[in-house]
Amino acid sequence: MKKKMGNWAELPEDLLVLTANKITLFEDFLSFSGVCRSWRSVAINDNFKGSEQIPWLMLSDKDKPDERQFVSLRKGGVIRTVNLPDARGKRCLETLGWLVTVAEDGEINLLHPFTRVQINLPHVTTFKHYQMRTFDKNTSFISKAVLSSRPEESEDYALVVAYGDSGYVCFWRPGDMSWTDVRISLLYFRDIIFHGGLFYGVVGRAFVFAFDVWGPDPTRTWIATVYNGTNRSRVDYRTPRFQVFGAALRGKGEWAEITSLADNALFLGDNASFSVDASRFPGIKANCIYYTDEYWEFRKRGGGLRHTGIYCLEDGSKSPCYEEESFNPICPPLWVNSSSF
């Protein structure tokens, strides 16, 4: 006599919640939500207890301008396709799971790719140093965008952007009608992050500065200075090579080369920098750098170079990151923080 199989859709809700609470990877949480309606009803953010997550790769196909595909490196393929018409024809920069979209007419918005919540930001023409003499499109005017916190978690957040060939930095806070410039005299910002209540910017290859957008006046503080000497570590965009350096965020520490990431993996891209403990995620390689290198400075002037791959810091070897990439020249592949989904 055959045993009668139970109906998975009729499991008690408290048991489903308990099961959901045990899931640590967001990709598995998505699979959980797709079983049936009753399982999907408990697959809400409050029931997901996972903490650190690996970012996903967001792809945009020029032949399907409204679609965005999200690739999980752990699963090895596309795990979600989202219809996102508000991103059509716009350049996207990722920060804390949100997209900063920049349209050709200069309109700027914050857009959440899954909830589709959109926050209007001041127009690009409200930048203090806005000019189009060296830019053929507004989409190329902003090079970096960084949130202090997620808008859904706090109303007191700030968005900092580098613009104008990365020569200027400005910020916006909810309620502002225009962007406020940070008074910095040096040019070319390579990266900006938020840490411990302050924004930090890397200028050229030598300086790190900090500023507080909540203070009475944005200030600058030099943190580390090191003479770089001759250009010994030239980066060839056809054969990418990486060197990793670290500096203390307090005091007058100098840059020091880091030869090993140990169990960590870095995710680097046009507007992203993540570090994760690779030992917690099967399939993610430790002591490696996962990169999407669009070389924006070259591409915005008509070039099309693009590299995506995995670089091993130990031996300098490179391997593909995801074989079936699509390419949209306005919105190339970028890492998206999956922790906010």
pLDDT of 202 reads: 79
Give residue 298's pLDDT. Answer: 46
pLDDT the model gives residue 287: 95
CB atoms within 10 A of CB 105: 12
Tell me, what's the pLDDT at 136? 54
Q: Which of 242, 248, 246, 267 is nearest to 257 (CA)?
A: 246
| DSSP codes joined into one string, 194-217 | EETTEEEEEETTTEEEEE-TTSSS
CA angle 311, 62, 268 (to 5 degrees): 25
pLDDT for the residue numbered 131: 72
- Residues of the chain below pLDDT 50: 1, 133-135, 224-238, 297-305
Quote the pLDDT of residue 245.
Answer: 78
Q: What is the pLDDT of residue 234?
A: 33
Token pair 């300098």 is at which residue?
A: 316
User: pLDDT tens-digit profile of 173-216?
Assistant: 999 999 998 877 666 777 888 988 988 887 766 677 788 888 87
Cα–Cα distance list, 15 to 36, 42, 45, 57 (Å) = 15, 10, 17, 33
Residues in the chain: 341
Burial tier of 26 (Cβ tally within 10 Å: 0-12, 13-18, 19+): buried
